[in-house]
């Protein structure tokens, strides 16, 4: 009888020193199915996948793929044997074409030259099969995150992958793009390809996954059919406790206007056009819109990272003209960026460096940096943010994505900001940690801090804000009171200038 499972992991264990990251993990993925994999940041999801791909050598256990034991020597070995992964933070050659990225490391040759005609035809055939509208000659940097992600999935399929791991695939996608992704996954599942779908978004797991497994503290807590479980059971399995409410009560009381933007236009593309709004002291002001609507560009302009062509910004009644981010920081502005890997953290630094880099003046004794003050500040933020780590001297790259985000937020908390700009602050973060960050934002607002939050998750933007500004094609299409709006109005406003 043919084995119905494409992948079986038996009693997989992995430790780093005295830290037992995985403990006797068992997992089975059926052929032509989508297995959801959930767990808090630091639960062991990434470590388990790295053991599968041969990035880490497992300490114990076995991996059976397509009926045979495997020990891949690395991602290339895994890929060539039918196991592929699309990472949350895409690793692509952005200044090369789609074609180059698809065929990198395996260029077909005609004699001594690369057979580009064959490459173009095969790539077009593949995109047609996947119902993707992609130009193989387009430069990757000019494409949206969702288009680049689709190219990675297509690349995996081109290797005849039998199982594809998707790591937080929708973290930067709009609802329309998510539907397109799910359509592709469903088509490939019908063709017999299996998926491991790593996500913190429960509604998506219930929509696309056949089964769901939950990791907690390196142990497999449960595996169930999505039809036989519910959101409360998953949350309880993930965090070890029940979360009765998805969002804390938004009980801050906004005061007088502290920030005004009037007729703002930026100088360089992409151009913000005629943006006007005001934000109050102690307010949580949301910014919603489709990917590419200008949300991040607006925050970057407020933080002095983009040049204003016309228009004015007033803070506490006084016009401000930030030439750079240092000017913004001098006015007690803080900015958590969307792409933590590229512009949110120092990948070669430890937690001490990444926590104290924006507040060095607070950690001086005389003219010299005080290592003890820096270490104490880092320990304080580790406790405040409940960051899972071994200690303050850990390399930030040794932490899970969600815990890296906690370090980045802690870095800005050390400055005690008055205006906190947060671009997708809970991207790639588990449900328990999200709740903690929501509570943190609300508490800051209650202390009189002004929080401006960009989010592409509609339940989130409706769940933690007082008012919401909606962007569409680099224009402001409306500002609504959160308690008086709904998803339909936000979607209508986000399509206003399209």
Indicate whether 364 pLDDT > 50: yes
Q: What are phi and psi of 412, to 5 degrees?
A: -80, -30
Least confident of 171-175, 267-271, 439-443: 171-175
H/E element holding 291? none
Q: What is the pLDDT of residues 22-47, one digit of tens each?
A: 999 999 999 999 999 998 777 888 88
pLDDT for 39: 86
State how far the Cα of 10 lies from the Cα of 16, in Å rounded to an integer.
20
In the chain, % of residues over pLDDT 90:
64
pLDDT at 323: 94
Cis peptide bond upstream of 270, omega within 30: yes
Tell me the per-residue pLDDT of 209-242, one tens digit each, with 9 for 90 and over. Answer: 999 999 988 999 999 999 999 988 888 888 776 6
Looking at residue 241, its pLDDT comes to 63
What is the band of 244 on the pLDDT scale with cuts at 50, 70, 90?
A: low
Mean pLDDT, rounded, of the chain: 90
Please determine, for residue 255, whether its predicted confidence score (pLDDT) is greater than 90.
yes
Q: How far is CA 183 from the centre of its chain?
A: 21
* Lowest-pLDDT range of 250-259, 315-324, 421-430, 445-454: 421-430
Higher pLDDT, 430 or 415: 415
Percent of the chain with pLDDT over 70: 98
**Cβ partners under 8 Å of residue 245, min gap 6:** none
pLDDT at 284: 98
Strands, E, within 82-137: which ranges?
A: 83-86, 109-110, 113-114
Q: Supply the pLDDT for residue 290.
A: 78
CA dihedral 463, 467, 470, 475 (to 10 degrees): -150
Check: pTM over 0.85? Answer yes or no: no
d(CA 57, CA 371): 35
User: Could you read off the pLDDT of 93-137 as tens digits, one per residue?
Assistant: 989 999 999 998 888 888 889 898 999 999 999 999 888 888 999
**What is the number of residues in the chain?**
498
The count of C-alpha atoms lying within 13 angstroms of the C-alpha of 190, restricted to the half-sphere facing its C-beta, is 7
Secondary structure E strands in 87-185: 109-110, 113-114, 163-167
Token pair belonging to 265? 């236009």
- What the chain holds in terms of domains, given with CATH numbers, is 5-239 (3.40.50.300), 257-494 (3.40.50.300)
pLDDT digits (tens, 9 = 90+) for 466-491: 999 999 999 999 999 999 999 889 98
Cα–Cα dist 254/42, whole Å: 36
pLDDT grade for 167, boundaries at 50, 70 and 90: confident
Under the banding of pLDDT at 50, 70 and 90, the label for residue 1 is very low
- Going by pLDDT thresholds of 50, 70 and 90, the confidence category of residue 91 is confident
Q: How far is Cα 336 from Cα 286, in angstroms, rounded to an integer?
A: 14
In 3D, which of 119, 110, 478 has the Cα closest to residue 288? 478
DSSP state letters, 344-363: T--TTSBHHHHHHTT-GGGG
């Amino acid at each position: 009888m043919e084995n119905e499972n494409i992948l079986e992991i038996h009693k997989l264990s992995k430790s780093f020193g005295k830290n037992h990251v995985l403990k006797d993990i068992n997992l089975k993925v059926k052929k032509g199915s989508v297995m959801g994999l959930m767990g808090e940041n630091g639960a062991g999801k990434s470590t388990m996948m790295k053991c599968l791909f041969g990035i880490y050598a497992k300490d114990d256990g076995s991996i059976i793929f397509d009926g045979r034991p495997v020990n891949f020597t690395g991602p290339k070995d895994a890929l060539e044997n039918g196991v592929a992964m699309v990472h949350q933070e895409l690793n692509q050659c952005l200044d090369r074409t789609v074609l180059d990225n698809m065929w990198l490391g395996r260029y077909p040759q005609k004699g001594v030259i690369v057979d580009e005609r064959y490459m173009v035809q095969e790539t077009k055939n593949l995109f047609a099969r996947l119902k993707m509208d992609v130009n193989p000659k387009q430069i990757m940097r000019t494409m949206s995150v969702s288009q680049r992600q689709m190219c990675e999935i297509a690349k995996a399929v081109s290797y005849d992958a039998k199982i594809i791991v998707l790591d937080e695939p929708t973290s930067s996608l709009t609802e329309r793009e998510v539907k397109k992704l799910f359509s592709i996954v469903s088509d490939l599942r019908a063709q017999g390809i299996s998926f491991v779908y790593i996500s913190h978004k429960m509604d998506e797991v219930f929509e696309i996954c056949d089964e769901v497994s939950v990791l907690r503290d390196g142990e497999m807590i449960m595996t169930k059919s999505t039809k036989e479980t519910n959101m409360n059971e998953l949350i309880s399995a993930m965090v070890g406790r029940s979360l009765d409410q998805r969002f804390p009560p938004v009980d801050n009381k906004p005061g007088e206007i502290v920030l005004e933007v009037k007729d703002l236009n930026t100088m360089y593309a992409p151009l913000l056009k005629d943006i006007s709004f005001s934000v109050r002291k102690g307010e949580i002001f949301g910014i919603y819109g489709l990917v590419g609507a200008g949300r991040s560009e607006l925050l970057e302009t407020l933080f002095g990272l983009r040049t204003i062509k016309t228009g004015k910004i007033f803070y506490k009644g006084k016009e401000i003209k930030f030439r750079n981010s240092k000017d913004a920081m001098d006015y007690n502005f803080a900015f958590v960026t969307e792409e933590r890997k590229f512009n949110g953290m120092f990948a070669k630094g430890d937690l001490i460096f990444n926590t104290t880099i924006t507040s060095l003046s607070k950690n001086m004794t005389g003219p010299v940096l005080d290592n003890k003050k820096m270490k104490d500040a880092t320990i304080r933020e580790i406790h405040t943010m409940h960051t899972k780590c071994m200690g303050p001297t850990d390399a930030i790259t040794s932490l899970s994505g969600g815990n890296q985000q906690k370090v980045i937020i802690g870095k800005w908390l050390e400055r005690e900001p008055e205006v906190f700009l947060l671009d997708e602050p809970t991207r790639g973060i588990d449900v328990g940690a999200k709740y903690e960050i929501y509570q943190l934002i609300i508490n800051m607002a209650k202390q009189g801090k002004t929080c401006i939050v960009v989010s592409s998750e509609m339940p989130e933007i409706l769940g933690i804000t007082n008012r919401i500004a909606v962007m569409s094609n680099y224009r402001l299409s409306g500002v609504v009171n959160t308690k008086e709006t709904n998803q339909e109005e936000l979607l209508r406003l986000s399509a206003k200038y399209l």
